[in-house]
Structure 1
Amino acid sequence: MACAGDCPVARTARLIEGKWTTRIIRDLLGGTKRYSELQHSLAGISPKVLADRLKFLEREGLLSKTVYPVVPPHTDYTLTPLGMQLADLIAAMAAFGMRLPPAGAAPRNP
């Protein structure tokens, strides 16, 4: 099945591509999180990459950001209804990943 640059699969792939995007979405499927909670759960992500990915997902309408005017600032991130629709995709990725061998292991028969 061919897929031109603007087909539904390509548009979805553009939204979830990158090393961290699906992990951010996965973490937010569990509910609202603060920036620091996301950074802690995503070991190895740089603050710049996390901030950039969150801005991108907000711009694309997949998450909403709420900033509370307190000192120090408190910011919450929550998936929008559109972002929540990615739950089945993330679950399918998890199910597929369970069938894969661990990194560095020989492939196994399904």
Structure 2
Amino acid sequence: MSSPTQTFGFLFIWFSYQVNAANFRQSSPLIVEENSDVEITCSHDDSSLIIMLWYQHKRDTNSMTLIGYGYENSQSYEGEFEKEYKLTRKNIVEGALKILKTNPSHSAVYFCAASTQ
């Protein structure tokens, strides 16, 4: 019995460009008591990144959920998040996510990110 022969072709394209990376600093992990307000801070070192975004990753899920995003003076929330979370910006490179009256449903890993647009 003969096995089928398979032929694979590879296309290699080289793009040369410079990548600039921002350095982020976020609050340390927290374990909190129920019904407390918790603030998670985030800062970065790139003033061209004018939008700060906050994500939630809950256990047993393969995706992150966008909580909201904002500029220095205005914040936008996704869905019902505005009822339990508050986004703030101290300036263009510093912001915070506040979880209001924590409960077990808030258990998650929270991430901040930043973008130029």
TM-score (structure 1 length as normaliser): 0.29
Normalised to the residue count of structure 2, the TM-score between the two structures is: 0.28
Q: Which has the higher strand share?
A: 2
The structure whose Rg is larger is: 2
Higher helix share: 1
User: Which is bigger in relative contact order (C-alpha 8 A, separation at least 6)?
Assistant: 2
